[in-house]
Amino acid sequence: MLPAPLLTGGARWLAVTICLLGTLFGGQKVAQAARKIQNGPIKFILTPMVLRGRSQALLPVSCVVNSKDPELLRGTLEIRVTLSERLVHRIELPDFVVTPGDTRFRLTIPEVTVNQLDLAIRAVVLFRVGADVYDLGEHDLVIPIDSRRQQAVLSIEPKNRLIDRDHQQLRDSLLLHRFAPSERDGQRSQLVSVPSTIDPGDVPATPLAFLGVDLLVIEPSALGSLKAEQLRALLAWVRAGGALCAVCPGQITSAEVAEFLNELVPDGDGGAAWQPTGAGTWEVTEAVPGGIRHGEPGLGRAVILEDAGLRDGCLDNVRWDHSVHFLWRLQKKREKELNRQPGDPQAVWSRPSIDLMGGREFSRIAEYMPENSLQSLESLTQDMQPARMRGIPIWQFAVMLVLFLLAVSIGDYCLLGALRLRRYTWVFLPVVSLGVTWLTARMAETTLGENDSQAETVIVDIGRQSLPVRSSRFQLTVAAQPRTLREEIINGLLVSETEAAQVLARQAQTALRRQGAYAEATIAAGQFEADIPLSEGLPPYRYTFEQKLKKWSPVLTRLTRVGAPAEMPEFPWGEWGRRDLSDVRAVQTLVGEVLERESAAIVWLIKNGGIQRLTTNAQACWGLEKFLLETSGTVRQGRGFFDYLWQVSPTGHSNLEDLRLLDPSDPAQQMLVIAVPREQNHTVYRFVMPHSGPQP
């Protein structure tokens, strides 16, 4: 027998009422526990560490969490970067501990390309502790518009240190303004420098974090404070194409610093300029005029200035003027502007009066016109597009056609005749036709849905010491069905050249031609934000890149890494660099040696504004050939600061400005290019041949 119920009648209704009230009040308590705390005891401060000279750059930021709660709090710190209310990046720090007082740490926010002035870029910070969510506010990120381009000069020096007159003069002499023409020429706004400072302890330990910097300056008091991993990151960045100026004391007390300086500027014979003295110090063995040494490690430039020479007024001579010219990589045709006499009032490069507000210049802004990069990207994608798309196999189509004919002939005559239902012929035929049509569409969707295409072109740049210093992977993805492109990146910078960005560039180019100035392109915010990628993690160390792919809409991405790729053919770059390629026999011998190692290789020689095909199979890569010629720098028209500079520090962005390696005004420069094809994928090696041009 079943037991009798414990509660009956009114007691049962009373129990139900108590349960409902308990659930209601319990739910209110849970809702109160999960509420968002906006004015809590925790405050968050986000400060950019480096002033951005352009929008296409990583942004190192300094973060301070101030807690007035006497207890230790452990939770998850979440930082969301939004562009016009659209999430573009998310950083999550699990097991984040907030102690009473200040908790300081550093982060790197990935690049956010801003194409319109009215787009709001904010960092929303949340701290989750159990069910509590502390709202730490919204923080505006000041990022220049994509059409504005400035030269970022970063000085490494200790905080709260007074700068003497000599070092302040050094800073002023390195600004790019001094090479600009006068204000009335209307060109001065193209050469603008943005100076900022960073403490030695805040210097990142990865070279990718310096992709937003054009020139680095190391003060003598900061040189000895840098750690070994920081020095290695700086050296790798300079080899990848960066520019660095360091002021060193008379004696070096660190072996890591001495090795770092010897790698930047070896002596005249290629050996170590700083030698050990036996007393735990290192000194230079040979004196140089003015105490100024120049070096070309990899693709970069380095100038080392002795502190004693700085005190003796070496900044007031012509040699220092040429040193700054050497650092910024001004074009050869601009050298005559430096050949002046001291005190000449007509000097084109004479130091201007600069209005600085808080370390940043607001008096002038640089206009940047990236339309040529779009043409280069279109040239690159010509050879990366799929040659043909796989359709429905012919045998499947034939079987489907035979079955349809049998169904409408034998099926209609025999089947309906046997069933004596021929009066339903006009119902049977439409049903069979619709069924066959639906089945054919499903077969086509299944077949074409597997036609995802992905092609890669990897460009590896070889430095002057015959070592690979950086690589850029361009990947074109065409999705047959809408899906999400997801890739995990470790020690790299991945950016996307979206379809909307191309539309915006074309509109800006049209506005430029019509108005004679880079006007703002009118484009709907929804259309602009349709293909904005999302990244999660800690760039550039380890993060995940996601982007939604439309059906049959190609998406081109660029992945930049510093250093040598995992696999490379054993080409004797050092031996080839010593050959005179003006001799036809030397060129034929070099091509033969290349084909011995890679039989399908394609070889070009770029010089004097043209490209020479050294192998017959180069005609099959016409788009790649055009891309190499356009991005080398020899044929691009000088506009803005590119009318003065011929190379900039690495950026890793899709505007391709950092791929320029040749001076269009120097006929002595030449580049050897070798492409190794693998089906639709190409690995391209670019090697700037050493030449005996004038050195400062």
Label residue 207 by pLDDT band (50, 70, 90). very high
Mean pLDDT, the chain, whole residue set: 77
251, 314 Cβ separation under 8 angstroms: no
Confidence of residue 551 (pLDDT cuts 50, 70, 90): confident
Residue 448 predicted with pLDDT over 60: yes
Least confident of 137-141, 212-216, 250-254, 409-413: 409-413
Strands lying side by side in the sheet with 73-83: 36-37, 132-140, 121-129, 73-83, 86-98, 534-538, 542-549, 483-490
Query: Which pLDDT band holds residue 303 (cuts at 50, 70, 90)?
Result: very high
pLDDT of residue 10: 56
Cα 639 to chain centroid, rounded = 22
Confidence of residue 177 (pLDDT cuts 50, 70, 90): low
The predicted structure's pLDDT at residue 71: 87
pLDDT tens-digit series, residues 602-636: 999 998 778 889 998 877 788 888 888 888 876 55
CA distances (Å), origin 632, targets 210, 415, 677: 22, 73, 20
Has residue 696 got a pLDDT over 80? no
What pLDDT score does 632 carry? Answer: 82
The per-residue b/e assignment along 578-601, b for 16 or more CB within 10 angstroms, e otherwise, is eeebeeeeebeebbeebeeebeeb
Nearest to 688 by CA among 640, 647, 655: 647
In the DSSP assignment, the letter for residue 116 is: S
* Cα–Cα distance, 446 to 454 (Å, whole number): 19
> How many residues appear in the chain?
696
CA distance 108 to 93: 13
Residue with tokens 């809408």: 482
What lies within 8 Å, CB to CB, of 510 at 6+ separation is none
Q: Is the pLDDT of residue 363 over 50?
A: no
pTM for the model: 0.81
Predicted local confidence at residue 291, as pLDDT: 83
pLDDT band (50, 70, 90) for residue 173:
confident
The three state secondary structure string of 614-638 is: CCHHHHHHHHHHHHHHHHHCCCCCC
- The CA distance from 206 to 106, in Å, is 13
> pLDDT digit string (tens) for 86-108?
888 888 888 899 999 999 888 88
Tokens standing for 603? 């070889």
pLDDT band for position 516 (cuts 50, 70, 90): very low
For the ranges 109-123, 354-368, 651-665, the maximum mean pLDDT occurs at 651-665
Q: What is the pLDDT of residues 413-446, one digit of tens each?
A: 777 777 777 777 778 788 888 888 888 777 776 6
Answer whether residue 227 shows pLDDT above 60.
yes
Distance CA 26, CA 21 (A): 8
Give the pLDDT of residue 537. Answer: 87
pLDDT for res 38? 72
- Given a cut of 80, is residue 274 above it in pLDDT? yes
The residue that leads in pLDDT, 233 or 418, is 233
> Averaged over 581-608, what is the pLDDT?
91
Tell me the mean pLDDT in the region 555-576: 88
Structure confidence by residue, pLDDT tens digits, 4-62: 444 455 555 555 555 555 554 444 433 344 567 777 789 999 988 877 667 667 788 88
Question: Element (H or E) spanning 233, and its range?
Answer: helix 228-239
Neighbours of 490 (CB within 10 A): 10
51/399 Cα distance (integer angstroms): 67
Q: How confident is the model at residue 692 (pLDDT cuts 50, 70, 90)?
A: very low
pLDDT tens digit sequence for 457-494: 999 999 988 889 999 999 988 888 888 889 999 999 98
Q: How do strand 42-48 and strand 59-67 relate by DSSP bridges?
A: antiparallel
Domains (range + CATH), the chain:
42-141 (2.60.40.10), 149-181+188-328 (3.40.50), 374-384+453-689 (no CATH), 394-448 (no CATH)
pLDDT at 643: 72
Residue 572 vs residue 389, higher pLDDT: 572
> What mean pLDDT comes out for the span 55-81?
87
Determine the Cα–Cα distance for residues 495 and 112; give it in Å rounded to an integer.
Answer: 10
Which residues on adjacent β-strands are paired with residue 535? Answer: 89, 545
The values of phi and psi at residue 199, to 5°, are: -75, 145
Of the candidate ranges 399-413, 448-462, 598-612, the one whose mean pLDDT is the lowest: 399-413
Say if residue 657's pLDDT is above 90: no
Residue 623's pLDDT is what?
85
Ramachandran category for residue 567: left, alpha or beta (phi over 0 → left; psi -120 to 50 → alpha)? beta
Name the token pair of 39.
């004015």
Mean pLDDT, residues 146-169: 78
Q: Under DSSP, is residue 687 helix (H, G, I), strand (E, B) or coil?
A: strand
